[in-house]
Every structure is written in C-alpha cells, then in structure tokens.
Amino acid sequence: MIVVATEDFELYHEAVSALRERGVTFTTVQPGDPLPDGTTVVLTGRDDDLDPAAVSFTGERESPPEIVCIDPEDVRGGIEEALSILRGNGERTVVGIDSGPRPGVVVLSGKTVVAAFSVPISDVVELVAEELSDVADPVVRVGDGDRLKSARIVNELAELEGVEIQLVDETGTTPYLGAGARGASDVLAAVNIALREGEPVSSREIEPTPGELKRIKTASREQSAGDRTIDEELARRVAGGELTIEEALQRHRERDAT
C-alpha cells in the first residue's frame, strides 16, 4: 500500500489527486506518525526528512518501506516510481503506438497500463523519449496499419539509444467501441499493439504508392482551402516525414513567389 506523508499542502493535494485519478489504493498520515501495517511505499516531500529506519508501524514488519521523495515539479514521476515499486521488479516496460492520424500511445509495465496518450504524430517520439528517460531495456511496438506514418515513427525512434523497436501487425487491434467510448479507439488499439509481439526493426523505408501520393496532394488542396495543390516531389517529402503538409504548402508558395 502507498502512504502519503508530507506537510507540504500543495504537494499533498497534487499527489492525492494523481493517485485518485489512477485508481490507486492509498492512505495518508502526518510525517512522524506510525505507518499502517502493509505500507510498502511512502510518498513524501524533500523537506519532510523521513528516515526509513526510524518510522514506526501499527503492526509488525520485518523491513522498512521504500521512501519516495517527490519533486514538486514532477509529481507524476514520483507516482510512477511508487507504482513501479508496488509492481515489483522484473516487469519490462513496453510502449505501444497506434500509428493513425493522431497516434495513440500507451506505456505498460508488464501487462499493466501505467500511462496513455493521444498526441499529434510530431510529438510521438519526444513523448516516448520522456516516458523512457529512466527506464532500462524498454521495447517500443509500433503498429503497421498506416504504412507511411509507421515508417516515420520507426525512423525517428531509431535515434533513441537503448530502445528496442518492433513493428507489429495491427490487424484486429482496433476494438469495437460501445456507447460512451467514442474517441478512445487509438489508445485502446495501442494497448493491444503493446501486448502483441512484433518483428525487430531499426528502420523502415517505404516507397509511397500513387494512391498515397494522390491522397497527400488532395489533403494539401483541402488544407489550403482550394488555393493550391503541392506537386509530387513535395508530396514524396511529406510521405517520408521530412515535411508536414503545411510546410510543403509554404515551400510551394515560396516557389511561386520567385
């Protein structure tokens, strides 16, 4: 069980709110009060100065709990550390990515989902890097449903050190969504992708099909409100992730201006 013990009211409020959002069972005590039997982790502030060897308990205990000092600027990181201790050692961290128009990204410890996001594709790799900054031996599994977007994500992930990348056949990973679950399909698909073994890859080179290039050109015309359509060279650069459609449109405007 997690126990929150801090005299920092702001830190207390943020930690308790974060634990409630995660559905975690916890209790609270004043620093220095006896800890309940079953306490595994104590969340505290840096100024609370709790000594693991000096804490007392309401019941018998063979060893002191783990003490996690939360950085007020990174409460979520402290919560994740506490949950990692509760889950125990040996669970590999897995990131699943559904490479759709707005990728779903989930972080699993073993089979437990510890974080979930839906972000623009331009933010995916930065988010993954942040989530794995202090994780040993992680694996990132990328769904192959959108060939061009998955290739872009895989190639950008290859710049990260110490991360295994797997390409996953995402057939059947998007679940049926019942009432009230609208908008969650990318995240739920990412969970299923994270749970599915894939093929290790270090890069992914794909030649865009004529149909894919046509869709990019059409999207450029729609995004410019019918003002212009990018050419095939720019469409190929968009397909490869080198440019966004807006950047390609800007290049197209600059060419016309010269």
CATH number of the domain within which 164 lies: 3.30.420.140
What local confidence, expressed as pLDDT, does residue 168 receive?
95
Q: Domain count of the chain?
A: 3
123 and 172 co-located in one domain: yes
Residues of the chain above pLDDT 90, percent: 25
Q: Which residues contact 148 (CB under 8 A, 6 or more apart)?
A: 206, 208, 212, 239, 240, 241
Residue 251 lies in a domain: yes
The residue among 60, 87, 114 that closes a domain is 87
Tell me the residue type at 202.
Answer: S
160 and 233 co-located in one domain: no
25-49 burial, b at 16+ Cβ within 10 Å, e below that, comes to ebeebebeeebeeebebbbbbeebe
Tell me the residue type at 194.
Answer: A
Residue 205 lies in a domain: no
Its domain, for residue 173, covers: 93-200
117 and 175 co-located in one domain: yes
214 and 196 co-located in one domain: no
Tokens of 25: 């069972």
The residue among 87, 102, 124 that closes a domain is 87
Rounded to an integer, the average pLDDT of 113-141 is 88
Q: Answer for the pair 133, 158: CB distance below 8 angstroms, yes or no.
A: no
State pLDDT tens for residues 57-79: 555 556 677 888 888 888 888 88
Rounded to an integer, the average pLDDT of 96-118 is 89
Rounded to an integer, the average pLDDT of 155-178 is 86
Q: Is 80 exceeded by the pLDDT of residue 53?
A: no
Pairwise pLDDT comparison (89 vs 187), residue with the higher score: 187
Mean pLDDT for the chain?
84
What local confidence, expressed as pLDDT, does residue 45 receive?
87
99 and 83 co-located in one domain: no
The span from the CA of 157 to the CA of 151, in Å, is 10
Q: Which residues contact 62 (CB under 8 A, 6 or more apart)?
A: none
Which phi and psi angles does 65 have, rounded to 5°?
-80, 170
Q: Which residues contact 216 (CB under 8 A, 6 or more apart)?
A: 208, 230, 235, 238, 239, 245
184 and 128 co-located in one domain: yes
64 and 14 co-located in one domain: yes
Q: What is the CATH number of the domain that holds 65?
A: 3.40.50
240 and 151 co-located in one domain: no
> Containing H/E element for 257?
helix 245-257
Answer left, alpha or beta for residue 90, where phi above 0 means left and psi between -120 and 50 means alpha.
left
Pairwise pLDDT comparison (61 vs 34), residue with the higher score: 34
Residue 53 lies in a domain: yes
Q: Is 80 exceeded by the pLDDT of residue 38?
A: no
Residues of the chain above pLDDT 70, percent: 90
The residue among 37, 72, 87 that closes a domain is 87
16 and 61 co-located in one domain: yes
What local confidence, expressed as pLDDT, does residue 59 receive?
57
What local confidence, expressed as pLDDT, does residue 90 receive?
58
170 and 126 co-located in one domain: yes
State pLDDT tens for residues 222-244: 988 888 898 888 888 888 777 78
What local confidence, expressed as pLDDT, does residue 21 receive?
78
What local confidence, expressed as pLDDT, does residue 72 receive?
83
Taking the model in full, what pTM does it have?
0.64
Tokens of 6: 């801090």
Residue 103 lies in a domain: yes
160 and 98 co-located in one domain: yes
Q: Is 90 exceeded by the pLDDT of residue 37?
A: no
Rounded to an integer, the average pLDDT of 23-45 is 83
107 and 188 co-located in one domain: yes
